[in-house]
Chains A and B, each alone.
With several copies, the nearest count.
Chain A
Amino acid sequence: MSVQPMNPFFKEIKKPVELTMTGNYAVAGAVSQTDPDVICAFPITPQTQSVEGLSDVVNHGKLKAAFVNVESELAACAFSTAACAAGARTFIATASQGLLLMAECLPMAPGWRVPLTMMISARAFNSPNLSIWNSWEFTLLSGMGWNTIVSENVQETYDAAIIASKISEDSLFPTQFVHDGFIISHSAQKFFAIPDEDVLKYTPRKPRHHINTDKTGTWGGIVTPDYFGEGRLALELEKNKVLPIMDNAFKEFKKMTGRSYHSIETYNLDCSSKTVFLTMGSMCGNILTWMEHNKDVGLIKLRTWRPFPTEQLRKIIEENNIEKIIILEKDDDLSGILPPVGQSVASALFGINVVLRSLIVGLGGRDVTKDEIEYAAKKMKPITDNRGKLYDYLGVRETKDKMWEVRF
């Protein structure tokens, strides 16, 4: 190959350095810096280069890790969960139908408190048609108990790979970090890489429970109705500690790099209209560039999707007297209620006096442009209550020559 994308990570990175790489290769670099013991994933567009990049670093010799090929995503998830349960720092990556194929295995890592780290290059799932492009499939499986953080751009997804590894091991819950497939995975952007030594200091290996022959036990064995609920409550109680653990990981990351992250980040909330967009991932950049010329709306950017930062969001809405929320989300679910992000926000804000609408955009790789953002802001202006349908599709054709008109 004439182009050697992983070249910067073949040698020790000794000081902060600016690189230009695609999201997937940047993640591969970051993961290699966290010194994983096991990498096991099945290739699927648009996740593939993240694992290819890691295979380059392993092949080159810089990273000493077991690079394990398996026959499917289900096998990848099972193998990774077991490897991680046995004590290995383990990385896995997937997207779309690959994530769905893992579904049978996904609940085990949270249940057994296995600190697996997974990259998702978010992509549509195959309904009604196969699409290799971006949607938010990951919101469909949000109830599995994984921590989930979402990144806006290449810098964030590079950083997220490192932060996620720390969150997993500090919380003993597996962590997914998500970027928008193609839009970020295949976009080359400038970003700053962190020195190897700093990454290793930030993600130290800590003693944790793991499968071994000295302290034997049964992992996930059958329990009668006398214990199952108690096990779930035990998980919930531990899960309640995750948001503070994330806050701490963000704080220490800032100390190391100067880059400041939070579970929720806000922009221009004291705007005149008291109206905010709420979304995640790459669309935040689109909205922020648009806001350069449109100062009368704000933005709430969710970095942490799971556990959902309920209390923080309530506080932000109430303290800033936000009156209207326009959710933009790249998913839907044909359920007759709000789509996934809307459902989470409505649950978090239930009983708060705020007007809310959710707009489904950008499915299957459709670009989200200033047209959608402008339309949404304009459409929201006359809305003053929560009557009628609270969601609709935006930026799609009704017929050959006619845009679908949002009805609410």
Chain B
Amino acid sequence: MAENKEKIPKYLVRFHGRGGQGAVTAAQLCSMAFDGPATCMPTFGAERMGSPVASFARMSKDYNQVRTNEQVYSPQYSCILDDTLLEDVDCTAGMVPGGYLIVNTCKPYEEIREIIEKNNPPEINVALIDATTIALEYLGRNITNTLILGALVKVAPQIFTLDELITAIADQFNPKIAQKNMDAIKTVPDATKIYPCDDKVKISFEKDYKKEWSHIGLGKLGAAELDKAGVWFTDVIDGGSARVNTGSWGVSYATFHPEYCIQCGNCVFICPDLCIEREFRDNKWQIVGVDEFHCKGCENCVYVCPGKKDKETGEKHKALTMVMKC
């Protein structure tokens, strides 16, 4: 490909999050905050609450640079809303050398580095921020998309400024939510710690680092290998979700306290993931625990649990409560 030295820079940002964490909105806020042509899009996976999702923003003062509707394969900035994703997904894939990996985490840098090294990333900078703690304090919920954008502003102020970001937030959210986010975002620059790479590595805003056919899913069955088109026999493909560790998706999971359970069964019926475990004892089905491998932490079971009074204190306790992972 011919290199054009006079090129106007284009900024490519990727967000990794879980369904419900606002990765798509983060990309959209980029597009709004940037002063010039910009597009953004989600990856086109089936989005379920808690499942891994990614989204992209592509920005440049030169419209022709961002006219493409491709997804982003070689971002300069990769922003991770949930550090558990680092284990499941290669969040550094295709990254431009000298770019930034920005992670919401309470873990130390060394631990994060160790995880990402498994994927042999290019030479990149890392920025860490414990956005979850800020979010829980200011927003009351673990929604960290605006905060991770604050960290992006810190490492890449040339894309858009904090003021531009705040204006975008004011446009996008209803006033009450917007105000909370704007208050929280101001704490971000101080809370973001940068771990730079070798400063001889110069970041490029023009070159394309996409590996050829990297979007094709090589390694999965090809046309000549499908048994009968459209029919996936279970001896060829594992069906069902038994092996998918959806329990790793949430920040919390439900735990069971048998002493407060009246065996009403409300939790069994409300759980969207069939995580309430039962056993056939004394001639009837009895609730005995929670399947933590699949519990995504939706809290529905907690809401419907009527609970039971403690015999000693007389206080009412629920038989299901949430436990934070971190």
Contact = CB atoms under 8 A, between A and B. Distances in A.
Direct A–B contact present (CB less than 8 angstroms)? yes
A370 B212 CA distance: 9
A370 B218 contact: no
B265 to A, nearest CB: 30
Contacts of A180: 69
Interface residue SS majority, chain B:
loop
B230 A370 contact: no
Interface in B225-274: 225-236, 239
A402 B217 CA distance: 10
B218 A234 contact: no
Interface in B1-55: 1-2, 4, 25, 27-28, 31-32, 37-42, 44-46
A408 interface: no
Nearest to B64: A292
B231 A366 contact: no
B40 A367 contact: no
Given A234-B229, A370-B208, A188 B221 contact: no
B70 A188 contact: no
Contact of B173 (A2, A153, A187, A402): A2
A187 B69 contact: yes
Contacts of A286: 68-70
A398 B224 contact: yes
A293 B65 CA distance: 10
A400 interface: yes
A148 to B, nearest CB: 19
A132 interface: yes
B239 A218 contact: yes
Contact of B221 (A183, A222, A227, A367): A227
A292 B230 CA distance: 39
B229 A368 contact: no
Nearest to B71: A367
Contact of A400 (B25, B37, B218, B239): B218
A288 B64 contact: yes
Interface string A187-217: 1111000000000000000000100000111
**Count class of interface residues, chain B:** 35 or more
Nearest to B37: A190
Interface string A100-134: 00000000000111000000000000011100111
Contacts of B239: 216-218
Interface string B58-83: 00000011111111010000000000
A80 to B, nearest CB: 17
Contact of B44 (A154, A282, A283, A365): A365
A393 B32 CA distance: 37
B158 interface: no
Counting chain B CB atoms within 10 Å of each CB, the highest count among A154, A187, A237, A396 belongs to A187
Contact of A112 (B2, B172, B177, B230): B230
Contact of A188 (B39, B67, B177, B217): B39
Contacts of A283: 69
Interface in A279-308: 282-283, 285-286, 288-290, 292-294
Contacts of B70: 286, 289, 367-370
A227 B4 contact: no
Contacts of A183: 41, 44, 69
A220 B219 contact: no
Given A186-B42, A188-B31, A189-B40, A399 B66 contact: no
Given A365-B44, A369-B210, A293 B230 contact: no
A133 B37 CA distance: 26
Contacts of A222: 46
Contacts of A404: 222-223
B220 interface: yes
A343 to B, nearest CB: 23
A400 B225 contact: yes
Contacts of A234: 223-224, 226, 229
B234 A371 contact: no
Nearest to A230: B223
Contacts of A290: 68
A221 interface: yes
A190 B210 contact: no
Given A289-B66, A370-B70, A371-B215, A129 B173 contact: no
Contacts of B224: 234, 237, 398-399
A183 B219 CA distance: 25
B326 interface: no
Contacts of A335: none
B24 to A, nearest CB: 8
B251 to A, nearest CB: 19
A371 to B, nearest CB: 5
Nearest to A209: B228
Contacts of A172: 228
B222 A188 contact: no
A153 B38 CA distance: 12
Interface string B118-156: 000000000000000000000000000000000000000
B91 to A, nearest CB: 18
B283 interface: no
A203 to B, nearest CB: 21
A403 interface: yes
Contacts of B228: 112-113, 172, 209
Contacts of A188: 27-28, 31, 39-41
Contact of A20 (B32, B46, B73): B32
Counting chain B CB atoms within 10 Å of each CB, the highest count among A128, A188, A288 belongs to A188
Interface string A218-238: 111110111100110111011
B213 interface: yes
A183 B71 CA distance: 9
Contacts of A289: 64-68, 70
Contact of B25 (A3, A220, A294, A403): A3
B174 interface: yes
Given A225-B44, A285-B69, A395 B216 contact: yes
Give me the 8 closest cross-chain CB pairs, A-B, nearest first.
A128-B230, A217-B233, A397-B222, A289-B68, A233-B223, A187-B41, A399-B222, A128-B229
Interface of A: 2-4, 20, 111-113, 127-129, 132-134, 152-154, 172, 180, 182-184, 186-190, 209, 215-222, 224-227, 230-231, 233-235, 237-238, 282-283, 285-286, 288-290, 292-294, 365-371, 395-404
6 contacts: A183-B69, A215-B234, A217-B232, A224-B46, A369-B70, A403-B216
